[in-house]
Structure formats: structure tokens, C-alpha cells
Chains A and B, each alone.
Chain A
């Protein structure tokens, strides 16, 4: 299937700890995006990393991409209770029309 596969499915940590989520995908990509969804809300775009990039930062977020392993990771540093949400990766495959297919996501729970 074309969706990214997030791992773990659920992650529970204490406030202040770092959270790492992983994503694996199938074939060559143009880019890969990470989104966040708070319960009952729409998705919020977090970061896009292109296939020729290896690492990208945005505030407390760090995304890495390893095209040889067809995997990406999202690191949230110094987590806060407000980071509690589901996180999805969405690869955009070469030759596709840019449609995003979402996996089951990682449900992150940050306890105060």
C-alpha cells in the first residue's frame, strides 16, 4: 500500500521527555510530510522534508529522512502536555499526483 507506516502505534511519556516516532514507506519519494491531529480536529501540517534532505528542524521538532532505508523519524524534544495528539507521516511518491494516503498514525500521550 502507499501509506506510510508509523511506529509505534501508541507512545506515552512524561512532560519534558523526548518523543520519537518512526515512519516507513515503500518506494521512491519526492518528499515526506508529517502532520498532527488533535482529537476531533483537522490535521495540522508540521514539516515537509524533501528526498534530497537528510534532516530538518522546526522549533522543537526534528525530522530525519533515510532514503536508503525508506524511513523517516520525527523527534519532539522537551515534550509538553499540549503535544498530546496523533501524528501521521505522508510520503509523496514520484510519479503520483501528490495525493496523501495516511496510515494509522502514532498516538502520543504526554502526561503532565
Chain B
């Protein structure tokens, strides 16, 4: 259990276009989803925390108008990179935290990660 999927797994787009990445918890409800970005040979950097039905909380230095996050249901969060530029090329990873009180193993502090989306902006 505790499977998180991401779609697409990779995307190549032209500079100036917008790209939407989906993150789904397949077998559990996630009150909170997280979006990370990882540049080559670096660690994951938390971009934002997304709670179902409310606005996302962005980390310092992350532009909320550029990285639009929507968490419309307990199993789906989307990240839209608007007007993408080559410097936005990165590996984007989402994670989901299980809703407290739901069945399943593991602490509600455990985050379950998606496989990541490789974004390349030309």
C-alpha cells in the first residue's frame, strides 16, 4: 500500500509554455501533499506544502505565481509550472502524507513519494 503516482514521468517543452504535473495517492487519502525540486547531484528542495481544500504554503524563494499548486481532492494535487524557462528544468517530485485516522501501516509523519517528473525546458 501507500503508492503515489506522478504524471507525466518526463516532459519536454518550449520556453514560455506551461506544464502541469499530477500527483496522485492511489490507495490512501492524503490530507497533505508536498512538492520538491531536485537539481542534478543535489538534494531535494521543498517547494511547497499543499493541504486539501486550502491554499498551498510556499517555501521562501519559491514564486507562487509561477508554480501553481492545486489540491482539489484527498488523492490529487497538481503543480503547474507557468511560462517555463530553461532554468526551471529539473526533477520534480511529489509526496503524500496519509490522513490521520485512516487505516494502514505507518506513521502519519511518513511521506510516500512519487517516482518524479523530469522537466526539460528548451
Contact = CB atoms under 8 A, between A and B. Distances in A.
Contacts of B97: 98
A40 B10 CA distance: 11
A83 B33 CA distance: 27
Contact of B44 (A45, A48, A102): A102
Nearest to A33: B110
Interface string B21-41: 000000000001010100000
A104 B91 CA distance: 16
Given A42-B93, A42-B116, A98-B97, A103 B109 contact: no
Nearest to A31: B109
Q: How large is the interface on A (under 10, 10 to 19, 20 to 34, 35 or more residues)?
A: 20 to 34
Chain B interface size band reads 20 to 34
B103 interface: no
A42 B43 contact: no
Given A99-B46, A104-B43, A48 B115 contact: no
Contact of A45 (B36, B91, B110): B110
A101 interface: yes
Interface string B70-105: 000000000000000000000101010100000000
Interface string A71-112: 000000000000000001000100001111111110000000
B43 A100 contact: no
Interface string A36-76: 00001111110010100000000000000000000000000
Contacts of B42: 104
Interface of B: 2, 4, 6, 32, 34, 36, 42-44, 46, 49, 91, 93, 95, 97, 106-116, 118
10 contacts: A33-B111, A40-B91, A41-B115, A43-B93, A44-B113, A45-B113, A88-B43, A98-B109, A102-B46, A104-B42
